[in-house]
């Protein structure tokens, strides 16, 4: 019983510079914590990562540091970007998927639309259902 519940505990780790990712993370209704506040300690929860694309299609330094420690705890990633960046739109998400083998659940244009929130919420719910 207890074990089953633990299996589906989700914590959102987020990396937000100008607030968009933090806003998105808040819409999902799970406990959340900035990637900068993970200090190498063990985590019991399953982590869902929300981050953004920076530089020219790059993963941010803070997200990279986080992943180098916690990729193994991370069940999926959602990335925010801006379509005005063309080919570089949300590229950090593709890079994370390839480099760390983490499912890329959704690329979101800035703060996205209700359909983006629904897609991510639905993915997390399905993940929980499968874990139980
Ligand atoms: C300096 C800078 C570089 C960016 N580079 C990209 C990029 O290469 N690709 C992309 O899709 N978005 C890019 N963006 C857009 C951000 O990823 C987008 O605004 C995101 O929502 C920011 O999330 P945050 O508000 O949580 O920090 C860039 C933004 C800035 C300020």
Strand bridging mode 46-54 / 58-59: antiparallel
Q: Rounded to the nearest whole angstrom, what is the distance from the C-alpha of residue 40 to the centroid of ligand 1?
A: 26
C-alpha–C-alpha distance, residues 8 and 74, integer Å: 13
Strand bridging mode 58-59 / 74-81: unpaired
C-alpha–C-alpha distance, residues 14 and 59, integer Å: 13
- 12-44 residues labelled b (16+ CB within 10 A) or e (exposed): bbbbbeeebbeebbeebeeebebbeebeeeeee
Strand bridging mode 10-14 / 32-34: parallel
DSSP assignment of 8-63 equals: T-EEEEE--SSSHHHHHHHTT-S-EEEGGG--S----SEEEEEEEEETTTEEPHHH
Q: Rounded to the nearest whole angstrom, what is the distance from the C-alpha of residue 85 to the centroid of ligand 1?
A: 8
Pick out the chain residues at pLDDT < 70.
Answer: 1-7
Q: Rounded to the nearest whole angstrom, what is the distance from the C-alpha of residue 55 to the centroid of ligand 1?
A: 8
Q: Rounded to the nearest whole angstrom, what is the distance from the C-alpha of residue 11 to the centroid of ligand 1?
A: 23
pLDDT on residue 8: 75
> Which of ligand 1's atoms lies nearest the C-alpha of 16?
26
Q: Which residue has the tokens 């390839």?
A: 98
pTM of the model as a whole: 0.95
pLDDT on residue 7: 55
pLDDT on residue 3: 45
Contact 74, 90 (CB under 8 A): no
CB-defined site of ligand 1, < 6 Å: 16-22, 52-57, 80-82, 85, 88-91, 110
CATH architecture of 2-117: 3-Layer(aba) Sandwich (3.40)
* Predicted confidence (pLDDT) per residue in 43-62, tens digit: 999 999 999 999 999 999 99
């Amino acid at each position: 019983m207890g074990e089953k519940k633990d299996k589906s505990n989700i914590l959102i780790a987020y990396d937000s510079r100008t607030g968009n990712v933090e806003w998105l993370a808040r819409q999902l209704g799970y406990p959340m914590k900035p990637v900068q506040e993970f200090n190498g300690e063990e985590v019991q929860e399953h982590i869902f990562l929300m981050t953004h694309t920076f530089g020219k299609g790059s993963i941010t330094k803070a997200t990279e540091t986080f992943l180098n420690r916690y990729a193994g705890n991370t069940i999926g990633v959602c990335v925010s970007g801006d379509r005005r960046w063309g080919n570089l739109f949300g590229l950090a998400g593709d890079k994370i998927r390839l480099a760390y083998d983490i499912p890329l659940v959704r690329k979101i244009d800035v703060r996205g639309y209700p359909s983006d929130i629904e897609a991510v919420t639905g993915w997390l719910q399905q993940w929980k259902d499968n874990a139980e």
